[in-house]
Amino acid sequence: MTQYIIRRILLGLLVLWLVTLITFFTTRLLPGDVLDRLFQDALARQSTIETVRHELGLDRPMYTQYFVWMGAMFRGDFGNSIMSGRPVMTEIKERVPVTLELGMMALLIAIPMGVLIGLISAVRQRSLADYGGRAFAIVGLSFPDFFMGTVVVLYASKYLGYATPIHFKYIWDAPRENLEMVYIPALILGLRMSANSMRIMRSSMLEVLRQDYIRTAWAKGLREQWVIGRHAVKNALLPVVTVLGGQLGILLGGTVIMEMLFTLPGMGRLALDAVLYRDYPQIQAVVLIMASFIVFTNLAVDILYSYLDPRISYK
Amino acid sequence: MSKASCRVAWLLGATAAITLLLIGCAKGEETAPTAKVATSVATTAATRAPAGAPTSAATAGSAAPDITKVKWDSFPPVMQEMLKRNGTATFKRPDPYKPIYGGVLRRQTYATTGRGATLGANYIKVSNSGAWTMWGIISGNLVSPEFGWGADLSTGTGAPVPDLAESWTSSKDGTQWTFKLRDNVFWQDKAPVNGRKVTAADVKWFLDTVRTQGWLADDAKTVSSVEIPDERTVVINTSKPFPDLLDWLATPMMVMAPKECWDAGDKCITESPVGFGAYQLRELTLSRWALERNPKYHMKDRQGNQLPYMDGIEFIPVADPATRDANLRTGELDYETYRDQASWLNIKNSIPNLQLEFAGPAKTITLMGDWLAFNYKNAGPWQDKRVRQALSMAINRQRICDIAALGFCVVQSPINAERDLGRPFEFSIAEMSEVAPYYKYDPEQAKKLLADAGYPNGFSMEVITGTTAKGLGAVEQWLMVFDDWKKIGVNVNHKPDQNAATLLGGGGFSQAMGFGYNLSGSRMYQQAYSLLYSTGAANFIGLKDPTLDQMLDARVPMPTASKERQEQSRKIFDYINEQMYRPTLWVGMVWEATQPWVVNETCGSDSCANITMRTLNWTWLDPSAKGFPASRKFEPRSKP
Range scoring the smallest mean pLDDT among B15-29, B294-308, B324-338, B490-504? B15-29
Separation CA A308–CA A234 (nearest Å): 7
Give the contacts of A258 (CB within 8 A, at least 6 positions apart): A102, A145, A149, A185, A186, A188, A189, A264, A268
Give the contacts of B330 (CB within 8 A, at least 6 positions apart): A157, A161, A162, A163, B629
For B368, list phi and psi in degrees, rounded to 5.
Answer: -120, 20
DSSP A232: I
Q: What Cα–Cα distance (Å) separates residue B107 from each residue in B22, B290, B292, B315?
A: 54, 10, 14, 5
DSSP B169: E
pLDDT for B13 equals 60
Q: Is the peptide bond before B96 cis (omega within 30 degrees of 0)?
A: yes
Q: A residues 30-49 near B, CB within 8 Å?
A: 31-33, 35-46, 48-49
Q: A residues 140-199 near B, CB within 8 Å?
A: 150, 153-154, 156-158, 161-163, 165-168
SS3 A241: helix
Separation CA A239–CA A245 (nearest Å): 10
Each residue's pLDDT tens digit, A255-307: 888 898 898 988 888 888 888 778 888 899 999 988 888 888 888 888 877 77
What is the band of B277 on the pLDDT scale with cuts at 50, 70, 90?
Answer: very high
Q: B residues 504-543 near A, CB within 8 Å?
A: 504-508, 519, 521, 537-538, 540
Range scoring the smallest mean pLDDT among B323-327, B478-482, B508-512, B543-547? B508-512
Separation CA B435–CA B422 (nearest Å): 15
Contact A33 B499 (CB under 8 A): yes
DSSP structure string for B343-405: HHHHHHHH-TTSEEEESS-GGGGGGGEEEEEE-TTS-SGGGSHHHHHHHHHT--HHHHHHHHH
Chain B interface, best mutation among A34, A37, A157, by max B CB count within 10 A: A157
Separation CA A199–CA A201 (nearest Å): 5
Mean pLDDT over residues A9-34, rounded?
85
Separation CA A218–CA B27 (nearest Å): 75
Each residue's pLDDT tens digit, A66-115: 888 888 888 888 888 877 778 889 888 988 899 989 988 998 999 899 99
pLDDT for B42 equals 29
Q: Is the pLDDT of residue B421 over 70?
A: yes
Q: Which chain B residue has its CA at the smallest distance from A93's CA?
A: B286
Q: B residues 438-457 near A, CB within 8 Å?
A: none
Distance from the A276 Cα atom to the nearest Cα atom in chain B, whole angstroms: 8
Range scoring the smallest mean pLDDT among A224-233, B33-42, B128-137? B33-42
Chain A within 8 Å of B129 (Cβ-Cβ)?
yes
Separation CA B588–CA B155 (nearest Å): 24
Helical (H) or strand (E) element with B223: strand B223-230
Closest in B116, B332, B502 to A84, CB measured? B116
Mean pLDDT over residues A198-219, rounded?
90
% of chain A beyond a pLDDT of 70:
91
Strands B223-230 and B233-238: antiparallel
Residues in chain A closer than 8 A to B287 (CB atoms): 166-168, 263, 265
Residues in chain B closer than 8 A to A41 (CB atoms): 127-129, 521
Contact B326 A48 (CB under 8 A): no
Encoded amino acid at B213, one letter: Q
Chain A within 8 Å of B317 (Cβ-Cβ)?
yes
Q: Is the pLDDT of residue B522 over 60?
A: no
For B599, list phi and psi in degrees, rounded to 5.
Answer: -115, 135
Q: Is the pLDDT of residue A30 over 90?
A: no
Q: Are B355 and B85 in contact (CB under 8 A)?
A: no
Q: Are B475 and B513 in contact (CB under 8 A)?
A: no
Contact A42 B540 (CB under 8 A): no
For A243, list phi and psi in degrees, rounded to 5.
Answer: -65, -45
DSSP B296: T
What is the band of B585 on the pLDDT scale with cuts at 50, 70, 90?
Answer: confident
* pTM of full prediction above 0.95: no
Residues in chain A, total: 315
Chain A within 8 Å of B501 (Cβ-Cβ)?
yes
pLDDT for B267 equals 78
Each residue's pLDDT tens digit, B15-45: 556 655 554 444 433 333 232 322 332 233 3
Mean pLDDT over residues A16-35, rounded?
82
Strands B512-516 and B459-465: parallel
Range scoring the smallest mean pLDDT among A109-123, B333-347, B360-374? B360-374
Q: Which of A202-216, B119-133, B339-353 has the highest mean pLDDT?
A: A202-216
Contact B114 A83 (CB under 8 A): yes
pLDDT for B247 equals 79
Helical (H) or strand (E) element with B293: strand B289-293
Among candidate residues B584, B580, B600, the one with its CA nearest the CA of residue B592? B600
Distance from the A113 Cα atom to the nearest Cα atom in chain B, whole angstroms: 28
Residues in chain B closer than 8 A to A43 (CB atoms): 501, 504-505, 519, 538, 540
Residues in chain B closer than 8 A to A166 (CB atoms): 287, 316, 318, 323, 327, 332-333
Chain B within 8 Å of A85 (Cβ-Cβ)?
yes
Chain B within 8 Å of A55 (Cβ-Cβ)?
no
Contact B498 A168 (CB under 8 A): no
Looking at the DSSP assignment, which residues form a beta bridge with residue B316? Answer: B108
Each residue's pLDDT tens digit, B162-195: 899 999 998 888 899 999 999 999 999 999 999 9
- ipTM of this complex prediction, to 2 decimal places: 0.79
